[in-house]
Structure 1
């Protein structure tokens, strides 16, 4: 096994470094999921898993773009997390103004769901 290619999560399920998946390593076919740091790599990892017999590996990624939401809807991804700098900035300014006026802070809005 390549250095750092697989690790165990707290739940004991194996996960694969997306770099190892993208390199075409076939040892990842018994994995439950792969967390991939961005959607461009996630699409490459999905293709690598599919080519290597890992069609059942669930892909979880970050950014929540329209392409990822489509992949979520059609089953290529199991989850994607929206990580919008704009939304985070708006929430920070809204909370700062509210706190300065003696109000309460607002929590992040509900996640976007595919249509």
Structure 2
């Protein structure tokens, strides 16, 4: 797997959730396409300097979400990003990715931390679901 996964041990977000979120995002934007092989649990844990159980938990949650599949002798592979109910698109298009990239650039230029950007997005998404 060429995309770089990282874990910030000082973050309030648990390491398994950081891994799960990063891999899920990479699948959603198409960086990890269906059929891509993920590193073994032990390999990724060693690369990140964390316990194998932490990576195993992230993989388990990704598997339960239908994003990856563990296959004996073939390792863990990406099976794709399931479409949301009522949606015909499985992954965002180039316009959505460009908009997100623009948001990141603008927020960073304003001195907003990555964690705050994510919190802002979650808050706005939650408010849109309620209203």
Shorter-chain TM-score tier = under 0.3
Question: Which of the two has higher C-alpha Rg?
Answer: 1
Answer 1 or 2: which has greater helix percent: 2
With normalisation by structure 1, the TM-score equals: 0.26
Answer 1 or 2: which has greater strand percent: 1
